[in-house]
């Protein structure tokens, strides 16, 4: 049977075989065609950020984020001064700043105390606090910082309460343990919740849980030796929660009684002898505002308003309450330069920051009046402010994951800088192509002019012909590939692609409900928008480009999400967003700039996918949404969509993979229809997994153009690729057995096309898998026999062919599952690599002619492009003459990663969890963008830049050669003509 390749394609492929593989980015292009955005993650609300004075003489902000990052930002510019990314299981529990050190307690099991340099972020020392009882340490408290506290002795040593059980004094310079005190293990349910350092010793406050009511006990220790000075008997208190108390002046404790909702007070040293009721009013929560040492704190009323509480000088345990100007506050803080009290809250006019005089709480001063747009920026959920002055800074964290710095000046508040940390949690993305500038501008002109106007315009434009010719000659003779790669960053309202299609819009949706359009060539944010509902109530199901043709208008992005509204249940909602502006296609009902939302159905959406049917008016591709009750809904919906889908419903299949990585079976579904165009999904096949078998990775078949349907061998025969378009790859792990399995499944029938069993898998790192055309690659770490450490990383390359012998065909591309799915023949090679692998990806080109590179994300957070030629499973042990004609490299089990293959160069790209590849207009070049904690973008040329001239090509010499040949032909032609004529006569 003849091959389907055209002569041109075969010729081009043959030329590519002659090219030796090249590294992804030339040294001269490093830093010119790639970009890196360093992020830290959305700050945690349970660990308050704080202003610090850096040794360099500038102000900084230290914070801990949801991505388990400890970071210091410059207060004036928002740039990362330093950051430390801790492992996922080494969760930060508590931290404090003292002098030039940040002391951190981390770890949900055995706690670790570290000292980081405030100026550089380097680890100065770390100490592992092992359990004195010999039992494994566990963190069983909520919130995480309950039972953890850091205080500093007068000598500068660090005193740490960890796991609600042990108190340790550590040397401030070395971290060595000087003494350890542990609570009585015979007391059931006892948790040490707080440390208070006073002049007369160190006080440990313990909470003892019981069925009746919790008990409170106080133990006083000698801070120098750790010996017990005094112990009180447990006292029954009716405490609502372990955090509803506060210690003031190092000697008094105040808490809210769960029954009466009143604030009660007692002296710590005599808590077992004396209790008193402090205030008659009722409160719901007590909050420390940084002035506990002065006897001042805040308390929240039942209506949400907050009072300032301070000690009554006339009574030993007396308290006084003062009403505040605002309702529920987002910000309570002590001034960094004085005892002034700072409060921040939302009002009808925006976000205001007040300063209270501690001597007279009725006197206030506004230091920052922020005109904050909730729709645009989201609601401020936490904030801190600097010293109270005319240029006071307020650092705010919004519900959309943004960190903003506002400054108050003479003309009002202004936004100094903002960090969009929501981009550290990208959930899904869509790549949108941009139009060509000349085509768009010419189209706009042609729509408004007739034949005569067009003719007159052409005549007038002849005056530009000399300058065009001159610029053309100059560009042709001195043009540079490197210069042509540079482009201006995209700006909203001026979105056109560059010459080679390197600039695209990457629309990213985050878990915080924020949508961003990112320039693929520079990484800058072109526009951003927030989903109308509170992001904490939304779970984005998917996002798609549903209108890409310029003839119908700007591209449109559709978003489907599950909404969980308090008191209203769960529903499925959807949005249509203009990809060029970020605005909704329809105005919101309230007339604001908020996105218009459409309710699709009640209940959860279990699956959503685009269908090849357009809306009758807007030409927007429809999205099929499968609800929890298996009913199929459409967004948008019209009769044309329903009738069009009825014609293809019998050919529509999907599988349960996205968002269900812990399920016990893999299922396939088809769509049934009725005469009334009501559609529902029903299961057609199921692949049951073992009881302890968990899905750890899923790889959908990479979409793209297939240029070659087979591989031409050295004897000119062909191995035809297995090109089933319905394939999906699953990787599973059995934790108890320590084994894994890779399945390649046909989603229409559930048939297993290929299956590979793996023994001795390190279940901590899992299995990574990727699939493109007929090429399957998966990676895993092989564990040691003892199970404590990894024995090495394996990279397995498999190609699927239609037959084991050349020229054997089964038409896998168009085979029907009704007549039986053709089997595949697999050729596999296993390679060992010296680094761990976290993620896999593959490059993609416009016409599928260029070789594919395998993109590896290493455990060192480096991005490496490995040529497919090095991973060819047909690499022979000893090449034959025919193998050499195919340029097959001899097989070596150890795959050494050439440093030239490293795409990320020296960039500190951290936390990569997804690799996005998309083709450019150059067949040789693939765009690469990674998401994770950081964002990174670059380009790869797996087969070299064969479709563009390099900077070293001498165009002037070429032009002179052509000119010389032309002159030579002109001069020699008369002589040749005479010679030919003379030859005819004689």
Position 817 scores a pLDDT of 64
Which two three-digit tokens encode residue 423?
A: 């981009």
- pLDDT at position 985 over 60: yes
Which two three-digit tokens encode residue 541?
A: 């199901």
Q: Provide the phi-psi class of 376: left if phi over 0, else alpha when psi is between -120 and 50, else beta.
A: alpha
- pLDDT at position 840 over 80: yes
Share of the chain above pLDDT 90, in %: 43
Q: At what angle do helices 955-985 and 465-478 cross, to 10 degrees?
A: 100
Position 141 scores a pLDDT of 56
| Site of tokens 């904050």 | 372
> What is the average pLDDT across 367-389?
72
> What is the average pLDDT across 296-321?
83
Give the C-alpha distances (Å, rounded to integers) separating 704 from 11, 398, 545, 771, 848.
Answer: 21, 39, 16, 12, 7
Position 818 scores a pLDDT of 58
Distance CA 650, CA 647 (A): 7
- pLDDT at position 13 over 70: no
> What is the average pLDDT across 434-445?
65
Position 736 scores a pLDDT of 85
Query: How many secondary structure helices (H) and strands (E) does the chain include?
Result: 9, 64
Dump pLDDT digits (tens) for 329-343: 667 777 665 667 777
- pLDDT at position 11 over 50: no
Please, which residues bridge with residue 239 across strands?
A: 257
Position 657 scores a pLDDT of 64
Q: Provide the phi-psi class of 714: left if phi over 0, else alpha when psi is between -120 and 50, else beta.
A: alpha
Interacting residues of 961 by C-beta distance below 8 A, sequence separation 6+: none
Interacting residues of 455 by C-beta distance below 8 A, sequence separation 6+: none
Distance CA 51, CA 44 (A): 16
Which two three-digit tokens encode residue 397?
A: 């964290």
Please, which residues bridge with residue 561 across strands?
A: 540, 573
HSE toward the beta carbon, residue 4, CA cutoff 13 A: 10
Q: Which tops the pLDDT comparison, 493 or 42?
A: 42
Which two three-digit tokens encode residue 369?
A: 């009046």
Q: Which of 24-38, 187-201, 314-328, 640-654 has the weakest average pLDDT? A: 24-38
Which two three-digit tokens encode residue 21?
A: 């593989």
Q: Which of 84-88, 143-147, 536-540, 605-609 has the weakest average pLDDT? A: 143-147
Position 476 scores a pLDDT of 66
> What is the average pLDDT across 709-727?
92
Interacting residues of 826 by C-beta distance below 8 A, sequence separation 6+: 754, 798, 799, 800, 801
Position 7 scores a pLDDT of 42
| Class level of CATH domain 43-182 | mainly beta
Sheet holding 665-673, edge to edge: 605-614, 621-627, 631-635, 679-688, 665-673, 653-655
Position 412 scores a pLDDT of 72
> What is the average pLDDT across 302-325?
81
On whether the CB atoms of residues 578 and 554 are closer than 8 A, the answer is: yes
Binned at pLDDT 50, 70 and 90, residue 186 comes out as: low
Dump pLDDT digits (tens) for 808-835: 988 888 776 656 778 899 999 999 999 9
CB count, 10 Å around CB of 280? 9
CB count, 10 Å around CB of 428? 18
Position 387 scores a pLDDT of 61
Which two three-digit tokens encode residue 890?
A: 């001899």
> 869 in helix, strand or coil?
helix
Q: Which of 35, 24, 21, 26 is nearest to 939 (CA)?
A: 24
Distance CA 129, CA 141 (A): 18
Round the average pLDDT of the chain to a whole number and report it. 84
- pLDDT at position 3 over 80: no
- pLDDT at position 96 over 80: yes
Position 925 scores a pLDDT of 92
Q: Which of 584-588, 612-616, 635-639 has the weakest average pLDDT? A: 584-588
- pLDDT at position 971 over 70: yes
Q: Which of 416, 351, 342, 355 is nearest to 381 (CA)?
A: 351
> What is the average pLDDT across 864-876?
95
Distance CA 55, CA 656 (A): 54
- Under DSSP, the state recorded for 986 is -
Dump pLDDT digits (tens) for 657-670: 654 555 578 999 99
> 983 in helix, strand or coil?
helix
Interacting residues of 890 by C-beta distance below 8 A, sequence separation 6+: 875, 876, 877, 878, 879
Position 456 scores a pLDDT of 84
Position 940 scores a pLDDT of 92
Position 339 scores a pLDDT of 66
Which two three-digit tokens encode residue 481?
A: 């590939």
Alpha helices for 761-834 (secondary structure H)? none
> What is the average pLDDT across 483-500?
81
Position 790 scores a pLDDT of 56
Position 236 scores a pLDDT of 81
Position 550 scores a pLDDT of 73
> What is the average pLDDT across 344-354?
71
Binned at pLDDT 50, 70 and 90, residue 588 comes out as: very low
| Site of tokens 């980015």 | 25
> What is the average pLDDT across 594-620?
88
Give the C-alpha distances (Å, rounded to integers) separating 677 from 356, 615, 643, 651, 669.
Answer: 66, 16, 7, 16, 18
Q: Which tops the pLDDT comparison, 365 or 731?
A: 731
Dump pLDDT digits (tens) for 933-965: 999 999 999 988 888 877 777 877 888 899 999
- pLDDT at position 264 over 70: yes
- pLDDT at position 144 over 80: no
How far from the centroid of its chain's Cα atoms is residue 725's Cα?
Answer: 29
- pLDDT at position 78 over 90: yes
Distance CA 974, CA 714 (A): 50
Binned at pLDDT 50, 70 and 90, residue 427 comes out as: very high
Position 447 scores a pLDDT of 58
């Amino acid at each position: 049977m003849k091959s389907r390749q055209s002569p041109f394609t075969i010729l081009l492929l043959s030329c590519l075989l002659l090219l030796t593989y090249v590294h992804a980015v030339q040294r001269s292009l490093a830093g010119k065609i790639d970009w890196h955005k360093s992020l830290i993650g959305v700050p945690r609300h349970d660990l308050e950020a704080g202003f610090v004075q850096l040794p360099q003489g500038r102000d900084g902000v230290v914070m801990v984020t949801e991505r388990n990052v400890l970071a210091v930002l410059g207060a004036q510019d928002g740039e990362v001064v330093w950051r430390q990314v801790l492992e996922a299981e080494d969760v930060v529990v508590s931290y404090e700043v003292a002098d030039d050190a940040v002391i951190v307690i981390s770890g949900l099991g055995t706690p670790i105390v570290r000292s980081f340099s405030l100026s550089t972020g380097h680890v100065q020392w770390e100490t592992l606090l092992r359990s004195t009882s010999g039992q494994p340490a566990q963190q069983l408290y909520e919130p995480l910082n309950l039972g953890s506290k850091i205080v500093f002795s007068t000598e500068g040593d660090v005193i740490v309460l960890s796991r609600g059980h042990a108190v340790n004094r550590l040397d401030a310079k070395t971290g060595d343990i000087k003494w350890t005190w542990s609570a009585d293990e015979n007391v059931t349910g006892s948790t040490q919740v707080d440390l208070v350092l006073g002049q007369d010793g160190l006080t440990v406050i313990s909470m003892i849980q019981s069925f009746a009511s919790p008990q409170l006990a106080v133990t006083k220790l000698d801070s120098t030796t750790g010996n017990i000075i005094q112990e009180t008997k447990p006292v029954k208190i009716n405490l609502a929660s372990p955090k509803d108390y506060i210690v003031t002046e190092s000697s008094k404790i105040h808490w809210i009684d769960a029954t009466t909702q009143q604030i009660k007070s007692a002296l710590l040293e005599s808590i077992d002898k004396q209790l008193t009721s402090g205030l008659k009013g009722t409160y719901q929560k007590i909050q420390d505002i940084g002035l506990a040492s002065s006897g001042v704190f805040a308390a929240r009323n039942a209506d949400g308003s907050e009072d300032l509480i301070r000690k009554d000088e006339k009574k030993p345990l007396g308290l006084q309450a003062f009403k505040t100007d605002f309702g529920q506050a987002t910000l309570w803080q002590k001034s960094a330069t004085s005892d002034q009290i700072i409060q921040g809250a939302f009002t009808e006019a925006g976000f205001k920051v007040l300063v209270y005089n501690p001597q007279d709480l009725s006197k206030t001063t506004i230091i920052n009046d922020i005109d904050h747009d909730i729709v645009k920026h989201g609601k401020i959920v936490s904030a801190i402010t600097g010293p109270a002055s005319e240029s006071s800074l307020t650092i705010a964290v919004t519900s959309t994951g943004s960190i903003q710095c506002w400054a108050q000046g003479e003309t009002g508040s202004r936004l100094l800088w903002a960090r969009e940390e929501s981009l550290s949690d990208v959930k899904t993305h869509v790549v949108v192509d941009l139009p060509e500038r000349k085509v768009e501008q010419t189209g706009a002109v042609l729509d408004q002019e007739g034949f005569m106007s067009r003719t007159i315009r052409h005549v007038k434009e002849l005056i530009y012909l000399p300058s065009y010719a001159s610029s053309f000659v100059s560009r042709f003779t001195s043009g540079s590939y490197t210069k042509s790669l540079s482009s201006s960053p995209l700006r909203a309202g001026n979105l056109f692609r560059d010459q080679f299609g390197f600039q695209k819009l990457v629309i990213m949706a985050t878990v915080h409900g924020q949508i961003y359009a990112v320039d693929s060539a520079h990484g800058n944010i072109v526009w951003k928008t927030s989903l109308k509902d509170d992001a904490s109530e939304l779970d984005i199901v998917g996002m798609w480009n549903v209108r890409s043709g310029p003839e119908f208008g700007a591209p449109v992005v559709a978003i489907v999400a599950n909404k969980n509204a308090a008191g209203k249940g769960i529903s499925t909602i959807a949005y249509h967003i203009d990809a060029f502006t970020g605005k909704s296609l329809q105005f919101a009902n309230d007339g604001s700039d908020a996105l218009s939302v459409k309710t699709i159905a009640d209940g959860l959406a279990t699956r959503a996918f685009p269908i090849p049917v357009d809306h009758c008016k807007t030409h927007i591709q429809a999205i099929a949404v499968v609800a929890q009750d298996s009913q199929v809904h459409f967004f948008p919906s019209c009769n044309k969509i329903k009738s069009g889908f009825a014609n293809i419903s019998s050919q529509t299949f999907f599988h349960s993979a996205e968002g269900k990585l812990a399920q016990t079976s893999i299922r396939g579904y088809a769509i049934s229809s009725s005469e009334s165009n009501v559609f529902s999904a029903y299961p057609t096949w199921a692949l049951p997994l073992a009881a302890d078998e968990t899905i750890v990775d899923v790889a959908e078949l990479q979409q793209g153009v297939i240029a070659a349907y087979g591989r031409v061998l050295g004897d000119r025969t062909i191995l035809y690729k297995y090109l089933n378009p319905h394939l999906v790859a699953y990787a599973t792990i059995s934790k108890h057995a320590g084994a894994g399995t890779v399945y390649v499944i046909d989603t229409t029938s559930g048939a297993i096309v290929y299956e590979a069993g793996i023994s001795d898998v390190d279940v901590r790192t899992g299995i990574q898998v990727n699939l493109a055309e007929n090429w399957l690659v998966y990676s895993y770490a092989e564990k040691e026999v003892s199970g404590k450490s990894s024995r090495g990383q394996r990279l397995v390359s498999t190609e699927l062919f239609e037959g084991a012998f050349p020229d054997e065909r089964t038409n896998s591309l168009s085979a029907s599952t009704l007549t039986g799915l053709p089997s595949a023949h697999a050729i596999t090679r296993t390679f060992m690599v010296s680094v761990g692998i976290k993620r896999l990806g593959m490059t993609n080109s416009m016409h599928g002619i260029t070789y594919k590179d395998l993109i590896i994300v290493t455990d060192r957070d480096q991005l490496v492009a490995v040529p497919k030629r090095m991973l060819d499973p047909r690499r022979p042990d000893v090449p034959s003459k025919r193998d050499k004609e195919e340029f097959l490299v001899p097989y070596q089990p150890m795959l050494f990663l050439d440093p030239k293959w490293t795409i990320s160069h020296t960039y500190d790209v951290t936390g990569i969890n997804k690799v996005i590849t998309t083709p450019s207009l150059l067949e040789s070049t693939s765009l690469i963008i990674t998401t994770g904690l950081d964002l990174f973008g670059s380009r790869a040329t797996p087969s070299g830049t064969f479709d563009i001239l390099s900077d070293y090509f001498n165009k002037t010499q070429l032009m002179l050669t052509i000119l010389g040949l032309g002159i030579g032909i002109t001069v020699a032609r008369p002589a040749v003509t005479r010679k030919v004529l003379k030859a005819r006569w004689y």
